[in-house]
């Protein structure tokens, strides 16, 4: 049964990867002509994916670290898996934002000639330090006498883990702050934004980690015990908290007759892409909640986790796009006309296909990373993953 599931998933992955790769080649041949974003809305689907994947990276590492410190079953002995999933998510997010750059092959300038007055430079260096820290922690986990031990032989793992935890919390919070400092966009200037980004990161990161565990350890651990129990409750709590906070923010807008962000919120709820909020975001969350609460098999729980991991990208889209789709100056929309000077954004087929490729790229990083780790632990440590 499981073997057939793997085969079907492999075929789906191969199709998605191939089609997405063709779209990627077309993107590099034609430049930006196949994209739907323009001068007024320069950040589209790929930027939303960037924030989604770095959020997942932060959520995975933060939850994995808490599980490790509190010695929850399945976390200490599998912390290398946590590191692989987290780093793979960061790399996937950086790949997504790299595709959005106007001059993608000049990205190294942010490393050797950074302007730390820019939050983008700050973030780029933070991701770099996180990957280095995660790499060192990975190495130190190999120096433990038993994988369930708290410390490595040199006792460096805990302080480095604390540093990595700080980075993992900073990823999503910083993403929210990234929008909050754009004073020209009232919709983004919300003190709730860093909290919403952090909660969605913990929720989607927990979902990805739960999904990985359902594939790796479905025979080893009971579904009603750790690590599944902690991850399920974290995801359920995260979904509920996120929607309560979102309701609080949106309801205040409609109570205030002169709210500056009413137009943006109306776009989310009743605009041309109403279905992103009502069907993908809210509908997906309700289905996932049902599966996570009532699910008694690994298939149903894994499906619930998968739905959360995918549909929570709508949370990013509902922040990113409406904030750009409202003109700061009245009459600007009518003053100039060009296909790139529009305040309505629809992702094109090319953008959707490349988005699928980005997802397939992330899955490949996690799959091959865990595969290599499995072979390494068998060969060097004489233990199963």
pLDDT digits (tens, 9 = 90+) for 228-285: 889 999 999 999 999 999 999 899 888 887 777 888 999 999 999 999 999 999 999 9
Neighbouring CB atoms inside 10 A of 102's CB total 8
Q: How many CA atoms lie within 13 A of 167 on its CB side?
A: 27
Q: Which whole-number Å values give the CA distances from 235 to 285, 296, 301, 377, in the listed order?
A: 10, 16, 11, 30
Neighbouring CB atoms inside 10 A of 262's CB total 17
Helix axes 45-69, 313-325, angle to 10 degrees: 140
pLDDT digits (tens, 9 = 90+) for 186-195: 888 888 888 9
Q: What is the DSSP letter of 251?
A: H
Q: Do the Cβ atoms of 95 and 104 come closer than 8 Å? A: no
Query: Cα 130 to chain center, whole Å?
Result: 16
pLDDT digits (tens, 9 = 90+) for 6-45: 888 999 999 999 999 999 999 999 988 888 888 888 899 9
pLDDT digits (tens, 9 = 90+) for 39-73: 888 899 999 999 999 999 999 999 999 999 998 88
The residues, any chain, with a CB within 8 Å of residue 48's CB and separated by 6 or more, are: 313, 316, 317, 320, 321
Quote the CA–CA distance of 76 and 106 in Å, as a whole number: 39
Quote the CA–CA distance of 266 and 264 in Å, as a whole number: 5
Q: Do the Cβ atoms of 44 and 384 come closer than 8 Å? A: no
Residue 382 falls in which region: left (phi positive, over 0), alpha (psi -120 to 50) or beta: left
pLDDT band at 94 (very low <50, low <70, confident <90, very high): very high
Asked whether the predicted pLDDT for residue 220 surpasses 90, the reply is: no
pLDDT at position 292 is: 95
pLDDT at position 113 is: 87
Q: Do the Cβ atoms of 358 and 19 come closer than 8 Å? A: no
Asked whether the predicted pLDDT for residue 330 surpasses 80, the reply is: no
In this predicted structure, which of 255-259, 347-351, 379-383 has the lowest mean pLDDT? 379-383
For the stretch 294-300, contacts whose Cβ atoms lie closer than 8 Å and that sit 24 or more positions apart, written own/partner, are 295/223, 296/223, 297/223, 298/214, 298/218, 298/223
- The SS3 call for residue 297 is coil
The residues, any chain, with a CB within 8 Å of residue 296's CB and separated by 6 or more, are: 223
pLDDT at position 240 is: 97
Q: Do the Cβ atoms of 342 and 223 come closer than 8 Å? A: no
pLDDT band at 120 (very low <50, low <70, confident <90, very high): confident
The residues, any chain, with a CB within 8 Å of residue 182's CB and separated by 6 or more, are: 188, 189, 323
pLDDT band at 309 (very low <50, low <70, confident <90, very high): very high
Share of the chain above pLDDT 90, in %: 56
**C-alpha angle with apex 79: 314 to 305, nearest 5 degrees?**
30
- The SS3 call for residue 341 is coil
């Amino acid at each position: 049964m499981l073997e057939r599931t793997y085969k079907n998933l492999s075929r789906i992955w191969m199709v998605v990867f191939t089609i997405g790769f063709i779209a990627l080649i077309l993107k590099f041949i034609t430049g930006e002509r196949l994209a739907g974003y323009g001068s007024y809305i320069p950040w589209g689907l790929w930027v939303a994916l960037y924030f989604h994947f770095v959020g997942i990276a932060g959520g995975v590492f933060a939850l994995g670290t808490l599980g490790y410190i509190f010695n929850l079953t399945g976390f200490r002995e599998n912390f290398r898996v946590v590191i692989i999933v987290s780093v793979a998510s960061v790399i996937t997010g950086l790949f997504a934002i790299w595709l959005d750059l106007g001059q993608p092959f000049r990205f190294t300038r942010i490393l050797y000639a950074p302007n730390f007055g820019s939050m983008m430079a700050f973030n780029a260096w933070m991701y770099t330090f996180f990957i280095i820290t995660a790499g060192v922690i990975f190495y130190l986990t190999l120096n433990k006498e038993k994988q369930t031990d708290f410390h490595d032989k040199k006792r460096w793992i805990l302080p480095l883990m604390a540093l990595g935890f700080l980075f993992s919390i900073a990823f999503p919070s910083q993403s929210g702050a990234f929008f909050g400092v754009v004073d020209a966009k009232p919709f983004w200037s919300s003190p709730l934004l860093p909290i919403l980004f952090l909660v969605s990161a913990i929720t989607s990161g927990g979902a990805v980690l739960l999904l990985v565990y359902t594939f790796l350890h479905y025979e080893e651990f009971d579904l009603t015990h750790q690590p599944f129990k902690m991850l399920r409750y974290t995801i359920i709590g995260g979904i509920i908290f996120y929607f309560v906070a979102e309701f609080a923010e949106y309801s205040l807008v409609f109570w205030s007759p002169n709210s500056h962000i009413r137009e943006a919120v109306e776009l989310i709820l009743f605009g041309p892409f109403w279905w992103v909020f009502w069907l993908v975001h809210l509908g997906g969350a309700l289905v996932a909640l049902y599966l996570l609460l009532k699910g008694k098999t690994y298939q149903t729980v894994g499906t619930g986790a998968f739905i959360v991991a995918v549909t929570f990208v709508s949370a990013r889209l509902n922040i990113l796009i409406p904030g750009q789709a409202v003109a700061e100056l009245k009459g600007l929309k009518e003053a100039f006309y060009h296909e790139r000077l529009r305040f309505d954004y629809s992702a094109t087929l090319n953008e959707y296909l490349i988005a699928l490729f980005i997802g397939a790229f992330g899955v490949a990083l996690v799959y091959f990373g865990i595969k290599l780790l499995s072979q390494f632990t068998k060969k060097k440590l004489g233990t199963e993953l």
